[in-house]
Amino acid sequence: MEKRKLGSVIKYAVLTLLLLIYIFPFFMVLINAFKEKADVIKNPMALIGKSGFILSNFREAVRKMDFFRALGNSLLITGSSTLLIIIISAMAAYIIARKNWMACKLFHVLMILSLAIPFQVLMIPLVSIYGGIFHMLNYRSTLIFMHLGFSVSMSCFLFHGAVKSTIPLELEDAAAIDGCGSFKIFFQIVLPLLKPTIVTTVIINTLNLWNDYLLPSLILGDSKLYTLPIATRIFYGAFSSDLGLILAALVLMILPILALYLFLQKYIIEGVVAGAVKG
């Protein structure tokens, strides 16, 4: 018994130490964001700088980064893309799962194959086609459209599995006998039953799109349209020597997500696992 107790003490000690190491970078950024530049350079390990605890870094970072505009763009793009992805991929997955038509099978196979293609293979043709031929860059709607195209296969794949395994066919047959049309059956019976998968897809897509940098940076060249990651990059380039300011900007970037994580931790972890294991 004694030996077991000792073992669990060691286990806790190891885990706590590891967790501290994992959290340490965030902690360093956080404490230094409240210091003057000179204090950051002189002693980054100190909890509070010599000139005290200051908030001016944040005020300036918000202004110079045009933080709220970028936040608005990020919210608009991530929000509307995610919403549309859920609707169109759930609908497509439903018809693919229920009908044995050629078109359904073909589309299904193509989507599964596409999961293996990395973004780097598509970025040059995308810029060539949408920039060079159609002149459609620099619109938020173009970015949203591309987010749809990239995310639809993974989401469709998850919904397809859920329809096949969790929605009883008898329910739909009964509704059809009662005179329900296909669309009514889908929106009133199937979609509500897909709720757990909707949560998973919302989480996976929101995290991916919110943090995406490369695609948005290729599409949105106009500073009024910048999303948060692009704004951070530009800001970093211009102010990389003003450490306090930079760190405040980084805190502004990570704080909203960490706050959300505090409340939705359980769903986020479950959603990510469901997405990864099935994918």
Partner 1 sequence: MNKKEPFLHKSLLFVGFAGPAVFCFMLVMVIPFIYGIYLTLTSWNGISADKAFVGFENYTAIFQDVQFWNSLGLTILYSAISVVFINVLAFGLAYLVTGGMKGQNFFRAGFFTPNLIGGLVLGYIWQFIFSRAMVSAGNYLNIGFLSTSWLSDPGKALAALIIVSVWQYSGFMMLIYIAGLMSIPKELLEAGIIDGCGKGQSLRYIILPQLNSSFVICLFLSITRCFMTYDLNLSLTNGGPFGSTKMAAMYVYQQAFVSKNYGAGQTEAVVLFLICAAISIAQVYIGKRNEVNA
Q: Which of residues 1-20 bind partner 1 (CB under 8 A)?
A: 8, 11-12, 14-15, 18-19
The rounded distance, in Å, linking the Cα atoms of 173 and 167 is: 12
Stretch that binds partner 1, among 57-65, 68-76, 191-199, 251-259 (CB under 8 A): 251-259
Stretch that binds partner 1, among 50-58, 66-74, 160-168, 249-257 (CB under 8 A): 249-257
The rounded distance, in Å, linking the Cα atoms of 148 and 209 is: 10
Any contact of residue 47 with partner 1 (CB under 8 A)?
Answer: no
Site for partner 1 in 21-40 (CB under 8 A): 22-26, 28-29, 32, 40
- Residues in contact with partner 1, counted by CB under 8 A, come to a total of 90
- Rounded to the nearest angstrom, the gap between the alpha carbon of residue 213 and the centroid of all alpha carbons in its chain is 11
């692009």: which residue's tokens? Answer: 230
Cβ proximity to partner 1: between 118 and 192 the closer is 118
**Count of CB atoms within 10 A of residue 77's CB?**
22
Any contact of residue 95 with partner 1 (CB under 8 A)?
Answer: yes
Position among 58, 157, 186, 226 found at the interface with partner 1 (CB under 8 A): 186
CB of 224 to partner 1, least distance (A): 20
Stretch that binds partner 1, among 49-57, 72-80, 88-96, 194-202 (CB under 8 A): 88-96
Any contact of residue 247 with partner 1 (CB under 8 A)?
Answer: yes
Site for partner 1 in 191-230 (CB under 8 A): 207, 210-214, 218, 229
Any contact of residue 104 with partner 1 (CB under 8 A)?
Answer: yes
* SS3 per-residue string spanning 181-232: CHHHHHHHHHHHHCHHHHHHHHHHHHHHHHHCCHHHHHHCCCHHHCCHHHHH
DSSP secondary structure letters along 112-155: HHHTT--HHHHHHHHIIIIIIIT---S-HHHHHHHHHHHHHHHH
Q: For the chain, how long is the longest CA-to-CA vector? A: 77
Site for partner 1 in 55-84 (CB under 8 A): none
Site for partner 1 in 223-242 (CB under 8 A): 229, 232-233, 236
Site for partner 1 in 127-166 (CB under 8 A): 127-129, 132, 145-146, 148-150, 152-153, 156
Cβ proximity to partner 1: between 55 and 273 the closer is 273
CB of 64 to partner 1, least distance (A): 16
Type of residue found at 40: V
The rounded distance, in Å, linking the Cα atoms of 271 and 202 is: 9
**167 — phi, psi (to 5°)?**
-100, 115
In this structure, the dihedral spanned by the alpha carbons of residues 56, 58, 60 and 65, taken in order and rounded to 10 degrees, is 170
